[in-house]
Structure 1
Amino acid sequence: MTRNVLVIGLGLIGGSIALALQKAPEVKIVGYDQDENTAKQAEMLNVVHETVIAPEIAAKDADVIIFGTPVNATLVWLDQLKDWQLKSTVIITDTGSTKKAIMQKAAELRAKGITFIGGHPMAGSHKSGILAAKPHLFENAYYMLTPLAGEEIVHMAKLESLLKYTHAKVVSVSAHEHDHMTAVVSHFPHIIAASLVHQLRTEDDNYPMTRSLAAGGFRDITRIASSNPILWRDITLQNRKELLMQLKDWQAEMGRVQQLLEQGEAADIEQYFASAKSVRDELPVGAGAFFTPFDLYVDVPDYAGVIAEVIGYLADEAISITNLRIVESREDVFGVLVISFQTEEDRKRAANCIEKRAKFETYIS
């Protein structure tokens, strides 16, 4: 029996889910996007089996409805969905990066007999839009589900049986746990990155050369400050309470740093950095990291054509890359090529290839 899946919002996340779920047996993927060009591209590229111009009509036959839209847009859709004709067994889910407001709306749906299970696949790409969609985008990443308290096991099992084709690690947490954890590892770091960039800007008048020196290390730390400001405006407002708590903790930590500097004890300062290094080195690499690709660092000599040479070796062995960049200068690293891969397997193959054919040293940061 065919399962009908309706995906509303065909950007990077919605499109990638649609592609991944096509691997499930007896599944028909129907897509909708308010941008007509996006919808046409999705159908032309076989991201979905077909597209519709009226999602409320397609929803009548849907067994699962997935909103791949930003949280604010999803909230509007969920209000409209209350009046749609739906199967009594339909399961609704979303992909939003904050969950509190979404799950409050889910409670309203439950009161009307509609099952909604919050979702958040914690993976992404430096690219956006339907053209960047990939069926393996979520492989080895965490896919967090946030069911309402007392959600029936059969509903969870039904959704998980479908999401397993994303090859993500599906885990269930409460909306509060989700918003707190993502505030710590994703949302608040964006604020820190933005604040560092603002601090750099204030140096321009007295020390204009500072900006020119802001290469490797500074660029790596603040890379996420280049993210979509509208997206992060919404995330910040939606998770404001958790972020204020993180800011309070951060200010306390900075007070601790200030005390270390004022006391000027070399051993204490060294221990501060050593402790941070120990925790950082124990973090999981790649799998499950939020919006983090599998990066491989390559020590390359400085001669013309070296980058083309390395990429050529990878092309010869059909190893696909998602991004590459050069770490221009950093106090402890020089002449490093950083190549990003979609999977851990690709990174391992690339490391073996480069070390064998180019004789360059590779490592994972």
Structure 2
Amino acid sequence: MEEAKTIYIAGLGLIGASLALGIKRDHPDYTILGYNRSDKSREVALERGIVDRATADFKEFAPLADVIILAVPIKQTIDFLAILAEMDLKDGVIITDAGSTKGEIVAAAEKYLTGRSVQFVGSHPMAGSHKSGAIAADVNLFENAYYIFTPTSLTKPKTLEVLKDLLSGLHARFVEIDAAEHDRVTSQISHFPHVLAASLMEQAGDYAKEHEMTNHFAAGGFRDMTRIAESEPGMWSSILLTNKEAVIGRIEDFKARLDHVTQLISQNDEDGIWNFFNRGRLTRKAMEIHKRGGVDSSYDLFVDIPDEEDVILHILELLRGTSLVNIHINEENREDINGILQISFKNEKDLNHAAKVITENTTYQVTID
């Protein structure tokens, strides 16, 4: 029989608390200890049974742990690594983190922990929510999402094997990648898009000062492109400043692409403009955007719905018992045009079931994206 382990999770926000729930699902006999500076998340975590014991003193539980997970902001993660290096920890303890950038964290771990009897591997669970705190903890948060490991010189042959077993209850997709390459890839598909979304909102806000209808007409594509601009500023400041070179590179590259489009428009190059949009369309269709495996990704179903009373209620009734991630109307519903109802699911099984029951019980056009 497997020996029960003691797991210490520092940071009982959405990520840390959800990790605890996932660990408990497959390892109910494990003891989970938690650290959180604020009283509220500690109290919620204890009341809901997310952790067995909780503390406001980071050092208190560290010597008891077989595995330590640092689910705190990047700068605090680095500070905690320095503190752990000075502590009397269990022999062979595994230390990992949950940071969105990996280069500086891995460098700090190798700086502070080399020569100690510890194992370290960088981690990035690529899932999230607009909700925060232990109150928002969700055992299914990481289902089918990428859980990235960035091995280091302190990662031993069995380190990842132990962590994958520990985290099996997350139902995530484990991937190994070099820390520097992780930061380069995420600069393109995560970090730069947040810069772009915030820039679009800043531009639109300024434009609306002289063109007030900008605020009223902002919907559809603009809404979808700028949703992530509502993300927490402190976290994104930290991410950009710990991945400066890669993010700046993506910004400079994008400037050149905008200059090229400007040139096509100024030259009335209709074929060039058509090819520009077509390349974007084809590239998006070819990417794995539609497969669950990254931040905020989901399985989406689109239903053309008429402007009739109780249409949405009827569809939701058909989907009773199915787990939905999100639902919204992409177009304004008017008498002379169908609205597009977008329903997001967490897995392919629910998506296919929804498509089947809606198709069989209505005359609405159903599209899977």
TM-score range (shorter-chain normalised) is: over 0.9
From 160, 167, 170, give the equivalent of 2:174: 170
- Are the aligned partners of 2:11 and 2:71 in contact in 1 as well (CA < 8 Å)? yes
Matched, 1:76 2:83: no
Once the two structures are superposed, residues 219-255 of structure 1 have per-residue CA deviations (whole angstroms, 9 ceiling, x without a partner) of: 0111111111222122122212111111111111112
What one-letter code is carried by the residue in structure 2 that aligns with 1:98?
A: T
Q: Residues 138-177 of structure 1 correspond to what in structure 2 (within 5 A)?
A: 138-149=142-153, 151-177=155-181
Matched, 1:277 2:281: yes
Deviation at 1:326, TM superposition (A): 1.8
Matched, 1:307 2:309: no
- Are the aligned partners of 1:124 and 1:292 in contact in 2 as well (CA < 8 Å)? no
Structure 2 Cα separation of the partners of residues 66 and 353 of structure 1: 42
Provide closer, same or farther for how the CA distance between residues 150 and 42 of structure 1 changes in structure 2, counting only shifts above 3 A. Answer: closer
From 318, 337, 340, give the equivalent of 2:341: 337
Matched, 1:231 2:235: yes
Matched, 1:293 2:295: no
What one-letter code is carried by the residue in structure 2 that aligns with 1:319?
A: T
Deviation at 1:53, TM superposition (A): 4.3
- Are the aligned partners of 2:119 and 2:156 in contact in 1 as well (CA < 8 Å)? no
Deviation at 1:90, TM superposition (A): 0.5
Provide closer, same or farther for how the CA distance between residues 343 and 43 of structure 1 changes in structure 2, counting only shifts above 3 A. Answer: farther
Structure 1 Cα separation of the partners of residues 70 and 338 of structure 2: 44
Structure 1 Cα separation of the partners of residues 151 and 164 of structure 2: 12
Matched, 1:27 2:30: yes
Per the alignment, residue 96 of structure 2 pairs with 93
From 298, 320, 323, give the equivalent of 1:320: 323
State the TM-score, normalizing by the size of structure 1: 0.92
What one-letter code is carried by the residue in structure 2 that aligns with 1:9?
A: G
- Are the aligned partners of 1:96 and 1:119 in contact in 2 as well (CA < 8 Å)? yes
Per the alignment, residue 10 of structure 2 pairs with 8
Greater CA deviation, 115-124 or 260-269? 260-269
- Are the aligned partners of 2:8 and 2:32 in contact in 1 as well (CA < 8 Å)? yes
Structure 2 Cα separation of the partners of residues 45 and 251 of structure 1: 48
Matched, 1:245 2:249: yes
| Structure 1 gap ranges (5+) | none
Structure 2 Cα separation of the partners of residues 155 and 289 of structure 1: 23
Provide closer, same or farther for how the CA distance between residues 110 and 76 of structure 1 changes in structure 2, counting only shifts above 3 A. Answer: closer
What one-letter code is carried by the residue in structure 2 that aligns with 1:311?
A: L
Structure 1 Cα separation of the partners of residues 338 and 222 of structure 2: 14
Matched, 1:46 2:70: no
Once the two structures are superposed, residues 178-234 of structure 1 have per-residue CA deviations (whole angstroms, 9 ceiling, x without a partner) of: 111000000001111111112212322432212211111110111111111222122
Per the alignment, residue 110 of structure 1 pairs with 113
Structure 2 Cα separation of the partners of residues 217 and 15 of structure 1: 33
Provide closer, same or farther for how the CA distance between residues 347 and 126 of structure 1 changes in structure 2, counting only shifts above 3 A. Answer: farther
- Are the aligned partners of 1:183 and 1:246 in contact in 2 as well (CA < 8 Å)? yes
Q: Residues 145-224 of structure 1 correspond to what in structure 2 (within 5 A)?
A: 145-149=149-153, 151-224=155-228
State the TM-score, normalizing by the size of structure 2: 0.91
Deviation at 1:110, TM superposition (A): 2.8
Matched, 1:256 2:263: no
Structure 1 Cα separation of the partners of residues 307 and 332 of structure 2: 13
Deviation at 1:166, TM superposition (A): 1.6
Greater CA deviation, 305-314 or 165-174? 305-314
- Are the aligned partners of 1:109 and 1:116 in contact in 2 as well (CA < 8 Å)? no
Greater CA deviation, 204-213 or 47-56? 47-56
